[in-house]
Amino acid sequence: MSTLPIQNAAHWTAAGCGRLLEATPPVRSSAGLPVWNEVCKRAYERYPRLDPLSKIVGVLAEWILENIEISPDLGMILSTHYGCVEADLAFYRSAAQTPELASPQLFPYTLPSTGLAEVAIRHKLIGPARVLLHEPDVAEALRQAADWLETKTVSQCLVMHADAWLEDGARFLQQPACVEGWAFLLGNNYWVSTLRIPASSKTVKPDKLFAQLQTQRVESVRENEK
């Protein structure tokens, strides 16, 4: 894998929330879903109707894209382990109760790509988008982003990993409720950090990648203060 030019990054986890380049993150940490008007400045009327996965994707994208010049051809790649499991369960219940009246309001949110579509509409993006379903890992997403940048398919690419399930999902998956996500913006026109990930690397954990970028950022700030 070629050197990755990373412009910014953000995360929403129980351990911490915020953007890589912020001295003071908008939220210290949270194990629950973001409340839009508490973490983002620009109003978003559609947010309350979104499923949990789309909400975390929307907040991460907003944090990354709200204060920069965005290329309309910006590409997006979302990696997720369990997709939109909460919306899937809600839609299944509606279909089981009354098959001929399965909720049309819930159906769009049974697609894990819905969050990316919402981001594209909000930010007027026309670039390619892709969803990868597997365990927490952004190696394949980063490879795809690097290929898109190298071939000039896009001039920027937003790579994310996110998962979000609440009480229903926790019972179904037999796991504790989980809301977490990471986002990495790649682009060739400028960057604040570069990382080289060997082609032989089979996995790149998003939390480890974010921690590595944080360490680089701290070291850079200290070097500039000398």
Number of structural domains, the chain? 1
For residue 160, which of 128, 176, 137, 177 has the smallest C-alpha distance? 137
Supply the pLDDT for residue 107. Answer: 78
* Average pLDDT over every residue of 189-204: 66
Q: What is the pLDDT of residues 101-115, one digit of tens each?
A: 777 777 787 889 999
Which H, E and C letters describe the chain, residue by residue? CCEEEEEEEEEECCCCEEECCCCCCCCCCCCCCCCHHHHCCCCCCCHHHCCHHHHHHHHHHHHHHCCCCCCCCCEEEEEECCCCHHHHHHHHHHHHHCHHHCCCCCHHHHCCCHHHHHHHHHHCCCCCEEEEECCCCCHHHHHHHHHHHHCCCCCEEEEEEEEEECHHHHHHHCCCCEEEEEEEEEECCCCCEEEECCCCCCCCCHHHHHHHHHHHHHHHHHHHHC
More confident residue, 80 or 30: 80
CATH number for the domain including 114?
3.40.47.10
Determine if residue 18 is left, alpha or beta; phi over 0 gives left, psi from -120 to 50 gives alpha, anything else beta: left
pLDDT at 205: 92
* pTM flag (> 0.85): yes
How does pLDDT run across 139-149, given as a tens digit for each residue?
Answer: 999 999 989 99
- The residue range of the domain holding 215 is 3-225
pLDDT the model gives residue 7: 87
Average pLDDT, the chain: 84
Tokens 């690397």 -> residue: 201
Q: 58-91: per-residue pLDDT in tens?
A: 999 999 998 888 889 999 999 999 888 888 788 8
